[in-house]
Amino acid sequence: MKQLRQDPDVAYAQLDTRKYAADVMPNDPQLPIYQWDLLNTVGGIHGPEAWGESTGEGVVVAVLDTGYRPHADLKDNLLPGYDFVSSYGQSEDDPDIAGDGDGRDPDASDPGDWTDASMPWCGSTEDSTWHGTHVAGTVAAMTNNGRDVAGTAWGAKVQPVRVLGHCGGFTSDIADAIVWAAGGTIEGVPANPTPADVINMSLGGSGACTEDPATQEAIDFAVAQGTTVVVAAGNQGADAAGFSPASCRNVISVGATGVGGRIASYSNFGATVTLAAPGGDTDNSGGIAKGAVWSTSNAGTTVPGDDALVGMMGTSMASPHVAGIVALMQSAAVGAGRPALTPAQVRQMLVDSARVFPVAPPAARPIGAGLADAGRAVQLALGNPLPLPSLQNGVTSVAINGAAGDSVSYRFDVPAGTRSINLRTLGGEGMSVCMPRPAWNPPSMTPNTARAGQAMRR
């Protein structure tokens, strides 16, 4: 090739490489049947639009949850993790949350988190959830292997970090796990050989993060290391400001939507929610089976049994979609020779790339900037601009949401010779409309700003 390129009679010489369709559809059999959440559906994350550019290769996603089961459609994408559950019934005052007969150790496998009447601190009788295995599968189930389901970022690796057992887990264990997952030092625990680029926490408890400084300090440490922290907004149908880590600073807090893109009936909401992703609901779904998020799980009702695929609903299911999208973004950026994205850049790109909600959430229940979109987010990570959404004459644009400091750009086409434009903005706090001076403006048209609730005629 070097010799050819030096020949003045040769226009160019290059490798005849392969190219693929921008939309990639893996061959996992359950993907087109049940995984509306990943596909280019009304309520999906538009995964195929991203997979042609990135599958998350080279990225580590730590899943802080109940641990893992070695499901056949997940096991090859698992890294060694750690069990941080320290409480295992050493005394009457120490509830056996661990359920595995020991405290912290390198075995992050899930022994089951069932509850019964012998566990008075739980208050209910429930089967094991295998929650961590389900969440991990949504992030990075083995994909294009002709079996079971697909993952959001199947080229990424999941590091299971066990922090939840019977009846949940303690803040002290979770905070230590956050620090360890991000590469920090925890006394008595070996160093993490594969620090996470992304941490997913599909967990939470009541109380604002301002009352939970241990968790906030751990999150701040992780973010300072360059680790993006993604958390579930919660399933209480309440303001997420009253829950932690959903209301912590420096996290990406994820609300949930159903098949039709409508806010899920259970999803927490409010100003602390960054954006939404598929969590499952029965809206427009034709029933619970196809309205749920399906992923890897286990058939055991208490202790582990056979591999299974299970449909679940919750912001716990929404959060790993976003964690997977972050993995796609990081892999795309680094693979293109760009610097790794900072957590702040990741957050802004997720906000900027979010699609307008197909069904606007009620004004009293906002769930962030819009619906997570993997294809658009990856394009921003690659440094490619997104096409601006268009405003149409006489058509109201709704569900324009954002946090303090966010901005949203639109375009509109004005016929030549037009001498006046009318824009009207209603609702919101602190909202403004800014018009730059286009090249076609007559001299009388100058930039101006209209406050929310005002009409602007220029």
Q: Which residues are catalytic?
A: 65, 131, 316
Residue corresponding to tokens 């303090």: 404
* Token digits of residue 372: 């997570």
Cα angle 186-187-193, degrees, rounded to a multiple of 5? 50
- What is the gyration radius of the CA atoms in the chain, in angstroms? 24
Written as one letter, the residue type at 199 is I
Written as one letter, the residue type at 366 is P
CA distance 319 to 142: 19
Q: Where are the alpha helices (DSSP H) in 252-302?
A: 288-291
Residue corresponding to tokens 């490619």: 384
Contact 406, 400 (CB under 8 A): no
* Pair type for strands 82-83 and 198-201: unpaired
Beta bridge partners of 433: 450
Distance of CA 48 to the CA centre of its chain: 16
Contact 200, 148 (CB under 8 A): no
